[in-house]
Chains A and B, each alone.
Chain A
Amino acid sequence: MTALFTIILSFIGALVCGLMPAGAHHRIRWVALAFAAAGLGVSTVCCVNYSGGEFEDFLEAEWIPSIGISFVTGYDGISLPLLLVTGLVAVCGVLFSWTLESRANQFYAFYFALIGGVYGVFLSLDLFLLFVFYEIAVVPKYFLIAIWGGARRQFAAMKLVLYSFGGSALVLLGMLAVFFLAHDASGEALKTFNLLKLQQGQVPEADQQWIFPLIFVGFAIMAGMWPFHTWAPTGHVAAPTAASMLLAGVVMKLGAYGCLRVAVGLLPAGAQDWAPWVAVVAVINIVYGALVALKQDDFKYVIGYSSVSHMGFVLLGIATLNLTGMTGAVLQMFSHGVIGALLFALVGTVIYSRTKTRMLDELHRLIDRMPGIAWVFIVAGLASMGLPGFSGFVSELYVLIGAWGSLSGWIVGGAGLGILLTFGYTLVKIHEAFFRERKTSDPGDAEISYPAMTLPEKIGVAILLGSALLIGLCPWLLTDKISLSLERMLERFPN
């Protein structure tokens, strides 16, 4: 029951913030911070209490028995890191929106509705319930982007929502097929959406062949899978900072989590047959995302495409279908959630609010003019690049080792190329933004030095960078839990 409070608190938070008067943004942000922190607290408690392997904090109740729908929640080692990252990003999102004044009550209403949906997905153990939460998380994104976003926000918001619902349409179809086709050992139809019961039974192998791509692609659209990734950069760029942190930090993980928990978890035979294709697409994601990031002029687009590239590692990890690779995938979800959110916060709020531009050719020698912020960004950029000591290094290493074990050498080579390209664009873009002299000289402008980070920004940076560092140094804090639960999932694989 403990974990359920993350969902309940978020929705109560949405209601409370929404009902507060619009002018009271000073009070609203404290209320929002309190609710976000409470959510983080609950997920931390869950994480600390969790012992291993099985589902804990299990809750099962009848909901709509006439169509086989029950209310089942619980978490295991796969959902825990994601609960944690949701809590972290939710708190930091509030911190980095500290100065938001326009329609603050509505902003946090949508913000918490989104977070509640995300927590719900990670905790649901009933396919229908999971889908409901998954869809609940979509609509608030539209409003967050369309109301508070930047340039081209209407377009970006609509594109993001249509892509999301396109994905859910595929998932829904696959989900209904699983419901009707799954049977138990004796061949009797299960007719249930309960994930645990579905895992006990199985879907006929011939049907897994076509259901797996439906569900996998449906979820992977939200994970930014090539060629359906284009919503991600435009959406991230147009979104207000807190929303782009959530988008990159947790919403993309919803998709990856769905791929892992539902597509791979329920359809192992389908997963085995399709894994090589998934791996190919994942490598395209890694390499293509990095190449496109290299060519961007807008700092936020660079981060947007780097997200696409990093999500490729998650997909690659899932495609390995072995313990090491999949552990890496889950760890990469955590890692990119934290670091991606940090990068978006730095570019979208910390740098942009001072320079009023995100175009790389207009930024120049920021290292002199905002040294503190510049060094924080450089550290974050290196963390994203996979510097040892940060979580990104560990997770990508796990994924590559896993891929070496089960996928062809070309795939691993491609991923290695992707890592080199990641080094390339990270260093090039850091150079362009922080060290390069501006081509057109405007002597007056170059003298301006910018104010240092505010306290909320400092706290936010400390939380996100600290957790990336902590997991980078002590990955066993999470990997132990992740791999115990993944073992349970892999036990059910044929052969």
Chain B
Amino acid sequence: MKIVNVTHGSFYALGAYAAASMTAVWLARGYPPMLSYAVLVIAAILVAAPFAILIERAILRPLYARDEVVILLVTYALFLILEDVVKLIWGVNPYFIAEPYALLGSFQVAGMAYPTYNLILVAAALFFGLGLAWLLHSTRAGKLLLAVIHDPEVSRAMGINVGRYYLATFALGSLLAALAGAFTAPTVSVVPGLGVEVIVLSFAVVVIGGLGSLPGAAVGAVMVGLVRSLSVHYMPQVELFVIYFVMAAVLAVRPRGLFSLAEPRKI
């Protein structure tokens, strides 16, 4: 959509919190734990949809015509607001819902115990990634979306309802963020500030992969994950900032990211 969206991190946090509290309620009421995975997904959808629609319609829509920096600052402002909204709704104490994580147990890989839940996460990432790619490239709606992103003015002139596509894109993106948060919730303690670190990391991923490139984002994410894990294992002292190092290194060699789209001719 050619906007830099800091609020994305807030949706991650919202998803995590919603998933945590809904699952806690679900399990407390004695419903089957195996269905808690569905609860995660539903919680994410329930919380992301209204917020996304409200934000896009009321706040972002009137400001699209402005500078791209303006949108960035607006999403930053929204991020600040949502950080406190989350605190207001859920309080500052941490939430733990380990059950969906612990239930699946672990299995042995090369002499180490690997949690099965993590495998589910990988599978989910693949599912959503490939699904999104399919949606964009193989469905009519997806192709229209690519057109809208490329040139909203021409798209409008051709009769495409650009406003609706923008809303759908923002909602879809936010939903994915919330799902990510929801799926991560069982593996960590859900505390305020969850959105902060993730948003900077995800920008690093996108920049490394190249703006606007879906395969780039996938490659970037894998790279970031690998680098982080390796550094935690071998050089814990650099863990905090090694990813920024990688980002700087990638940009130094490929100024627009690894898989950047071709630049149109200017003069």
A and B bind: no
Interface of A with B (CB < 8 Å)? none
Interface of B with A (CB < 8 Å)? none
